Structure formats: structure tokens, C-alpha cells
Amino acid sequence: MSVMGIFNVIRFELAICLGKCALFFSQIFRRGGGTAVSGLVATFIEPNIQQQISKILSREIIFVTGTNGKTGTSSLISQILRSKVDFVLSNSSGSNLARGVVSAYISSFGIGGIFKRRRQRLASVFEVDEAVIPSLSSRMNPKVQVFLNLSRDQLDRYGEIDSIASSWVQSLSSESRTLPDVLVVNADDPKLFSLIDTGYKKSIQTITFGLADLSVALDDSFDGQDRDYCSCGSQIRYEVKYVGQSGVWSCSSCDIRRPSPDVLATKILLENDRSYVEIKLAGHSETLGLTVHQQGLYSVYNVLAAISAAWGYGIHPVDSIHVIESATGVFGRQEEFLVANVKVKIWLAKNPQGLNEVLRTLTESNDAPLDLLLVLNDGIQDGKDVSWIYDANFEILDGKYKFLVCSGSRAHNLSLRCLIAGLEVVKSDSNIMSMLDFSLDRTLPTETLNIVTTYTGMIEIREDLASRTGVLPYWK
Amino acid sequence: MSQSSSSPSLRVISLYEDVLNIYSDRGNRLAVQARAAELGVDVDVDLISIGDQLPADVDLVLIGGGQDREQEIVAADLLAKGETLRNWAATNVAMLAVCGGFQLFGRGFRNSKGVFLDGIEIFDCVSVTPNFGKLRFVGDVISKSSIEGLGMIVGYENHAGQTFLGESAIPFAEIEIGFGNNGVDRTEGVWRNSCVGTYLHGSILPNNSQLLDWLFKRAIEHRMSCDSNFDSVVLEKMSEHSKLSKASEFARQLILDTVRREQE
């Protein structure tokens, strides 16, 4: 090893060591999970730390990105990989910026991680923020890249959707990086077609996934849907829509259409607390059936993405299915608690598409009127701008709830939105804990209190429920 | 809703809502519908998109914002509808044009690619995108309206285009916090007759019920001028306290307080 080489190793290990200290102290003082600050410290000492980590992982890296479903999909992929390799590194706490990768490394490996790769077979799964993926993928050169979907989210931070889409395509056209071996892309989302096209043109193995079951088609009466446009400028037409702008689409003038998905869900039965899915693989005649222990059609898309990603990584879907059927959920996403005999379920929703799917799942899967606590915060992680609530379909709740309570730092905007939708809000206050108590009091023992919340609200509520019920906070 | 059964409907159109809808400006239409329901006024709402014919007779026109690409898609169609819309603006039809729609209701807009899109010249203003759109004006806005009685207007802006008003144009508001039309002259939006152009999302009408009622009242007055059967009792009812205006006023006050506090 050269002098420079030794210097680099020392600097790297020093960065990890100080990052570890930062993690330790921030947990003692309970400043959140401390997951972000440790990465920040380490990156300050070693600016090229992501490249180093990539080397240690020998590029055994899967990146997952998209507007919705990153955490759930990454968690499924991690669990599948865990059945095949010795250790899977992931940023499972949802810290998905460039420093989150570093934080994950620090909390899992600590000092001396550089020697671990010799003894163990390692793999890693990282969920990566939509805006960060181009720069981070050029530094870490992941082997597999998964693209889930793209819709409006936090426009105050990301700017326009089109610029995100083109930055993704550009990052695959860059000369300065090693291209991924495998691309996994949602074929049903027309905004992602240019990625599939780029994959084909660059001869990257491209695995697409999608749905083909008219029984779960989206009711098209909601008028807040986007029109989509092909790169030729003409309007995208749909045979059927499943979730948001995902469906069976084609351009109205050129010959671009939804590619035939390699991993296709041909039959879907959505039930109260699970879904049954049948999958057909390209080039295979038999179908595979599995039970997904999460509600909603969006969860089915996550499962298809995870199976495709694992397939691209060399794990056959039959093996993935066994893992998915017994997979554990992700914190704060359809997570259930039992508080003094009342069932509480937390749903995360932070953009119009995500909220629409949660509300659709709630109203379709429950016959009894809903007990609902809605929480809207405007922290940095939630988005400072709350305009988006007017793009979400609150109207769908009409006649479907027993009571509706609003809370969060923007409770007043949320209750106004409900009023405009013609809904009756029984109480609204910015104090989340008092509204949680109020809602719990009104929920009967046989019922479920459903809490639909933005990110920081979820963290706050989850921590409170965890302390009441003895469940560990996410960073333990 | 009972007394209005004999009274004619208010006619509202929302332009290109399926294309220019990235920023929740459909909330403005929802607010108009909710206010009408509260007042017992029947409204016919037409969603007009590319290739659709404009109705013969309209009281309120709404248009929202979109991305560069989407503005390019609607620009030619809007030009074809321009003459009718200009005539309506001159005859006191109420209009609200937000962000991208506001830019196209002016003389024209040069976008981040350098393409110049002709506007329909309802407002005397021109919009440009300096720096290839690298600089964006993003954040909360507090402004004081120049329309008598409207007071403070709250909203959220997010635009790369900058608008400069012509000599005859009157700004809709003066910026207290935020960037406004161009980040320099402290103007925000424009107004003329019963038409308002603005950069503010939020959506603007739900959060500013005084502006909602100003437009609503002018729309009703327009309907009354066309149709003597229209029941004018609605105008009196508008000044009464309502659930919606109370909730909206509460939200506006909290936004004013929060944004001013954060500014300090």
C-alpha cells in the first residue's frame, strides 16, 4: 500500500470514528435518531467517503428511488437479500440524502469495516432521494437502480417534475460513471419511459414491472389527475389507470406505448389487511401466487419492484416470494399499535398521489365508518409549502367517516381543506398529542383509529405510541 | 340551495385544469364551488381544455400555473381563445389567473429555453426567464392588495419567470415578505376591471376569502347584468358570517403570524 493509500485509509477510518461519536452523543441527547448528523460529520472529514464505501461494498449496491414507496420497497429488497448474503447494509431509518448512506455505514460497521468485506459476503440497499440520485449514483456506481414512480412532491424543494425526470435520464447518459448492470423501472408510469428507453439503447439489462388486472382499475371520476405528455409532445392516452398516472398507456400520435412488463401482476385481490397477487414472468408460462401483508394497490407495486430488483441481482422470484410473504413492515407505514385496547394504525402520506392512495385504500377496505386523525406539518422533511392538499382527493371521504380530527402545525389549512370538501371536522388543533388523546377517547375498543400524517408528524406520533406501548423507537 | 332553484346559475370556467395543474390551483375552483354551495347559488362549472369550445357566456374564469412544457402545450390554444377572453375582460367578467396562467394573460412570456410564447394581452405586462431558470423565487408571500378593502393577501410563490408591468398596469399587491413579480420593484401580480393576475398559490382563494368574495361578487354582478331574473339577495347574504369565511380568515391570520414571525 502506498503512502497515499495508507493516508486515505487513516482518514477514512477517522471520519467513521468521529461519525460514530456524533451518533453516540446525539442518541444520548435524544436529538432524533442522530442518523443524519453522523453522516454529516464523517463527510466533512472525508469528502470522498461515498466512493470509499462503494469500494468496500465492491459495488454490491442497489439504489431505490421514486416519489412514493422508497422505504417500503427498500425494506422488502433488504429482507430478500438477507436470505442470500451474510450482511445487508441499508439506510432503513429513511435518511435518504447522500449523508444517509454514510450514516448507515457508520451505524452498521463502525471502525474497521474495510476489513469486513474479506470475511463476509456483503450487499447493500439504499433508498435515495429523487433529487440526490444523479450525483450519488455517479459517486457510488450502484449495480442495480430501481425507479418506482414520479409525481409532484415538495415542489418548494425540487422545482418542477420535468427537471427531475430529465436529471435521471442524464445521469444514465453520463460518460463519467460506471453504468448500472441492471435497471428496474415501473413500466406503467409514462414519466419513466425515457429511462427504459435509455436502458434498452445502452444495452443495460432492463427489468420492467406493471399491472394487468382491470378489477383494480382507478375510478376515473377524480378530476385532479394530471394529463401526461409523450416526449413527442402529444398527449398520453390510457386504456386503464391503476395508481395516479400509472396504467396501461400509449402516445396518441407516435408509436411509443407501455412496454410489456417483465414482471406482471395478472390478478390482484385487495382485502382488509392483505392482498393476494398472481405474477407472470416474461419468458415463463406458469404464474406465481403470493400473499402481501400490506394494504393497498401501491403496496403491490412495491412488491413487484422488489421482486424485479432481486431478480436483477440474481435471486429468482420464487425465492423472493417466500421472503415477502413473511416480511415485516416498515416503521410508520401501516404500522399498528394497541393503545388501551384501541387499535391504532399509522399511514404516512406526504404528497397528493401518496395521500390519494392512502385515502382510497382506507375507504375501499373498510365497510364501517372511519375514525380518522389527519396530521399536516410543514417541517423541512414534510415540505414547507402545503398547497398540495388541494391536489388531493379529500372529497373521497364524504360519507365514509365516523369522526374527523385535524392536527399538526398546519391544522388550520387542513381543516379548511376538509371544509371545502364538504367534510365535518369535529375538532382541529395544532397540538398533536392533545388531538391524539381526543381521538383515542372517541375510538371504541372494536374500532381502529387511523392516523394519516406527514413525515414529522409520523415520527412524533410513533414515538409517543411507542412509549405508551413499549415498542422501540426506530433507531434502537 | 333551496331559494336558488328559480334563479339562474352562475357560470364558471376553469381553463386547462388538466394541464396547468401542477400547483394545486384547482383549489381555487373548489373554493368557488364551496362558497356557492354555502350561499345557495347554483354554479355551472365547465372544465375547458385544449380544443374545447368556450361557452357563449361566462361570469368567472379561472386559470392556474404549470411547468414550461405545459405552458407551451396550451399557449397556441389559448391564443385562439384570446379574442373572446379579451372581450370578456373588457365587459367585467371576473377572472383569476395564477402563475403560468398569469404570464400567458399578459403580452407574452420567454421561458427558460428562450422560447417566446405570445400572450393574450388581457394584462399590460411581459414575463421573461433570466438565467435559464436557474434562479427561482420560492417561499411564503405576504402582500398588501391595492384593491380597496382586500387588505393582506397570503400565498406561496414558486417561479423562475419574472414579470414586468407596463405603464398602464396596476399591481395587484405590494410585497411585504417574498419576491413577487420580479424580486425588484416589490409589486405582486396585476389587476384590471374584474380580473386579477397573481403568482400566489396556496391555493390563493381558500386562504384569502376576501379575494374569493371580491371575485364572487363581481361574477354575480356580471350574471345580474346579463340576466334580470338573478336573485340579488345573495349579495346581502355574502356579508353575513359563514363557516367557510371564518375558517379561511382563521387560516389567513395564522399564516400571517407564522410567516412574519419566521421572518424576524
Query: Which residues of A are less than 8 Å from B251 in CB distance?
Result: 412-413, 416
Instruction: Classify domain A62-85+127-325 by CATH number.
Output: 3.40.1190.10
Which comes out higher in pLDDT, residue B169 or B230?
B169
Which segment of A138-147, A215-224, B240-249 scores lowest on mean pLDDT? Answer: A215-224
Task: Name the residue among A156, A388, A421 with its Cβ closest to that of B24.
Answer: A388
B3-263 is classed CATH 3.40.50.620: no
Chain-chain contact of B244 with A156 (C-beta, under 8 angstroms)? no
The chain B residue lying nearest A388, using CA atoms, is B24
pLDDT of residue B152 exceeding 90, the answer is: yes
Query: Which residues of B are less than 8 Å from A384 in CB distance?
Result: 139-140
Q: Report residue A31's pLDDT band, with 50, 70 and 90 as the boundaries.
A: low
Query: Which residues of B are less than 8 Å from A352 in CB distance?
Result: 24
Q: Which residues of A369-387 are buried (b: 16+ CB within 10 A; e: fewer)?
A: ebbbbbbbbbeeebbebbb
Query: Which residues of A are less than 8 Å from B255 in CB distance?
Result: 413
pLDDT of residue B217 exceeding 60, the answer is: yes
Average pLDDT rounded to a whole number, residues A84-100: 82
Q: What is the pLDDT of residues A312-329, one digit of tens each?
A: 999 999 999 999 999 988
Q: What is the pLDDT of residues B164-190, one digit of tens each?
A: 999 999 999 999 999 999 999 999 999
β-pairing, B94-98 vs B60-63, is: parallel
* Cα B184–Cα B188–Cα B191 angle in degrees, nearest 5: 135
Query: Which residues of B are less than 8 Å from A152 in CB distance?
Result: 22
Average pLDDT rounded to a whole number, residues B31-46: 96
Interatomic CA distance for residues B159 and B151, integer angstroms: 24
Task: Name the residue among B24, B31, B138 with its Cβ closest to that of A156.
Answer: B138
Average pLDDT rounded to a whole number, residues A251-265: 95
Q: Is B247 on the interface with A (CB under 8 A)?
A: yes
pLDDT of residue A6 exceeding 90, the answer is: no
Query: Which residues of B are less than 8 Å from A223 in CB distance?
Result: 17-18, 26, 47
Query: Which residues of A are less than 8 Å from B156 in CB distance?
Result: 156, 385, 387
Which comes out higher in pLDDT, residue B38 or A158?
B38
Average pLDDT rounded to a whole number, residues A344-373: 93
Average pLDDT rounded to a whole number, residues B225-253: 92
Task: Name the residue among B21, B67, B251 with its Cβ closest to that of A224.
Answer: B21
| DSSP reduced 3-state for B11 | strand
Q: Is B261 on the interface with A (CB under 8 A)?
A: no
Superfamily (CATH H level) for A335-469: Mur ligase, C-terminal domain (3.90.190.20)
pLDDT of residue A381 exceeding 80, the answer is: yes
pLDDT, residue B19, reads 87
pLDDT of residue B117 exceeding 50, the answer is: yes
Task: Name the residue among A162, A223, A413 with its Cβ closest to that of B251.
Answer: A413
Task: Name the residue among A155, A223, A412 with its Cβ closest to that of B23.
Answer: A155
Chain-chain contact of B23 with A161 (C-beta, under 8 angstroms)? no
Chain-chain contact of B136 with A159 (C-beta, under 8 angstroms)? yes
Q: Report residue B9's pLDDT band, with 50, 70 and 90 as the boundaries.
A: very high
Percent of chain A with pLDDT over 70: 93
pLDDT, residue A25, reads 80
pLDDT of residue A188 exceeding 80, the answer is: yes
Which comes out higher in pLDDT, residue A29 or B59?
B59
B99, B70 contact by CB (below 8 A):
no
Average pLDDT, chain A: 89
Q: Report residue A438's pLDDT band, with 50, 70 and 90 as the boundaries.
A: very high
pLDDT of residue B4 exceeding 50, the answer is: no
Average pLDDT rounded to a whole number, residues A343-362: 94
What is the ipTM score, two decimals? 0.95
pLDDT, residue A158, reads 67
> How close does chain B come to A162, measured CA to CA in Å?
8
B16, B18, B30, B77, best to mutate vs chain A, most A CBs in 10 Å: B30
pLDDT of residue A388 exceeding 50, the answer is: yes
Average pLDDT, chain B: 94
Instruction: Name the most confidently modeled range: A44-53, A386-395, B226-235.
Output: A386-395
Any idea where the domains of chain A sit in the sequence? 1-47+86-120, 62-85+127-325, 335-469
pLDDT, residue B159, reads 94
pLDDT, residue B41, reads 94
pLDDT of residue B105 exceeding 90, the answer is: yes
Percent of chain A with pLDDT over 90: 62
* Cα A467–Cα A29–Cα A111 angle in degrees, nearest 5: 105
Chain-chain contact of B30 with A160 (C-beta, under 8 angstroms)? no
